[in-house]
């Protein structure tokens, strides 16, 4: 059930996506900016005719999520077009801090209306019932794809993965590293490598390198994983904790190959034209677990529902993917993306099937204990 304004905003995004199909990120952003400016003029004109007062009085929706480029992408692809047409302002709060959300819920002082949380935290949110049931009289299910409704009280937001990339400058031919076993093989593939400073995914990679099939990973054999990790520890240049670290370090030649978030990998390859290649095999996919929620006890649930109704649609998801390379969960979005671009996305079926799904249920139950063990190990 969409009103005319939402339809208009989606239409503008659709037009821009179509016009720039196959073009790069910059071309898309430029065209989107122009369209936004044009529609702003238009909306000023129409809003004078329609009820200006009603729109000005709209209660804002407070959204919590990641900062930096992520925030920019959310604003451009989702929030601004939504506010433009609905008149509901979006207050975006960053940095991402799940503990804040939890603390506010415990204090019964929830300030966040809508949140986009990562796979781990969305599993926690579902476990602790921090979300509120979605109002499908506002959110139009017809515009969503079933993948987005995999989890209760949640709508799939985007799909990201952690993968291996290698430098084609270092290995131009076909003898490049192809598996985590290769990543572990310092003799065959000498060079700087980096892993994320977290046990999640890292232990899985170790087990894959040690020959565990990707469908037999969970529950993790921790002793075996740590034993395998011990082998590679001296060769790790750095254990990264931010997304930009591996991106910068492989670009500057400090690393020859590394684990990296798929969004950052694609930003390097598609946006910065770096000579890297993604190895989807053995990648860690978050699947459909990164979700939008409307928080329990939030101040503006109706506004949040309206925002989700817009944000989870195919057009914003496609636009978001074009800006920050986070794959859409809404499969309808793929119709708006060029095939070549679609093939770079972790939720693209051919890629997704090469990866393993992170078992967040396992991780939510074991996270603290394993992290303590991991940190003790890594710091010694």
Q: Does 19 bind another protein (CB under 8 A)?
A: no
Closest CB 368 distance from another protein, rounded Å = 5
Distance CA 289, CA 266 (A): 20
Q: Which is nearer to another protein, 40 or 369 (CB)?
A: 369
For another protein, which residue of 46, 94, 111, 248 counts as binding (CB under 8 A)? 248
Closest CB 238 distance from another protein, rounded Å = 5
For another protein, which residue of 97, 175, 230, 343 counts as binding (CB under 8 A)? 97
Q: Does 242 bind another protein (CB under 8 A)?
A: yes
Q: Which is nearer to another protein, 50 or 372 (CB)?
A: 372
Q: Which is nearer to another protein, 136 or 377 (CB)?
A: 377
Distance CA 134, CA 250 (A): 42
Q: Does 239 bind another protein (CB under 8 A)?
A: yes
Total binding residues for another protein by CB under 8 A? Answer: 29
Q: Does 93 bind another protein (CB under 8 A)?
A: no
Closest CB 142 distance from another protein, rounded Å = 37
Q: Does 237 bind another protein (CB under 8 A)?
A: yes
Q: Does 36 bind another protein (CB under 8 A)?
A: no
Closest CB 321 distance from another protein, rounded Å = 26
List Cα–Cα distances, 157 to 21, 145, 291, 316, 327, in angstroms. 22, 11, 5, 10, 9
For another protein, which residue of 11, 67, 211, 253 counts as binding (CB under 8 A)? 253
Which parts of 99-118 interact with another protein (CB under 8 A)?
99, 102
For another protein, which residue of 78, 90, 161, 249 counts as binding (CB under 8 A)? 249
Q: Which is nearer to another protein, 273 or 376 (CB)?
A: 376
Closest CB 358 distance from another protein, rounded Å = 15
Q: Does 230 bind another protein (CB under 8 A)?
A: no
Q: Does 241 bind another protein (CB under 8 A)?
A: yes
Which chain residues interact with another protein by CB under 8 A?
A: 97-99, 102, 124, 192, 197-198, 237-239, 241-242, 244-245, 248-249, 252-254, 367-368, 371-372, 375-376, 378-380
């Amino acid at each position: 059930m969409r009103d005319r304004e939402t339809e208009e905003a989606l239409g503008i995004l659709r037009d821009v996506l179509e016009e720039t199909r196959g073009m790069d990120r910059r071309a898309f952003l430029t065209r989107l900016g122009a369209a936004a400016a044009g529609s702003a003029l238009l909306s000023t004109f129409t809003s004078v005719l329609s009820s200006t007062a009603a729109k000005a009085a709209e209660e804002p929706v407070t959204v919590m999520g990641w900062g930096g480029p992520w925030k920019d992408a959310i604003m451009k692809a989702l929030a601004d077009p939504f506010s433009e047409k609905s008149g509901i302002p979006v207050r975006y709060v960053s940095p991402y801090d799940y503990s804040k959300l939890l603390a506010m819920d415990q204090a019964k002082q929830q300030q966040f209306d809508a949140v986009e949380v990562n796979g781990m935290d969305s599993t926690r949110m579902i476990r602790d019932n921090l979300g509120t049931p979605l109002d499908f009289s506002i959110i139009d299910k017809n515009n969503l794809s079933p993948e987005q409704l995999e989890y209760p009280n949640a709508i799939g937001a985007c799909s990201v993965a952690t993968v291996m990339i290698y430098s084609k400058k270092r290995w131009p031919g076909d003898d490049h590293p192809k598996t985590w076993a290769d990543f572990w093989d310092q003799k065959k593939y000498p060079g700087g490598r980096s892993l994320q400073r977290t046990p999640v995914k890292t232990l899985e990679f170790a087990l894959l390198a040690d020959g565990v099939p990707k469908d037999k990973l969970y529950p993790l054999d921790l002793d075996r994983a740590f034993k395998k990790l011990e082998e590679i520890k001296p060769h790790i240049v750095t254990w990264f904790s931010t997304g930009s670290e591996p991106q910068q370090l492989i670009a500057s030649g400090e690393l020859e190959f590394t684990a990296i978030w798929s969004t950052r990998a694609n930003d390097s390859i598609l946006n910065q034209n770096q000579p890297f290649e993604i190895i989807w095999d053995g990648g860690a996919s978050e699947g459909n677990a990164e979700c939008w929620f409307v928080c329990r006890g939030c101040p503006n649930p109706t506004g949040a529902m309206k925002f989700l109704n817009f944000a989870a649609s195919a057009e914003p998801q496609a636009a978001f993917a074009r800006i920050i390379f986070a794959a859409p969960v809404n499969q309808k979005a793929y119709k708006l993306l060029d095939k070549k671009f679609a093939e770079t996305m972790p939720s693209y079926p051919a890629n997704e099937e090469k990866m393993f799904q992170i078992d967040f249920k396992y991780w939510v139950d074991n996270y603290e204990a394993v992290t303590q063990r991991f940190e003790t190990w890594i710091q010694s």
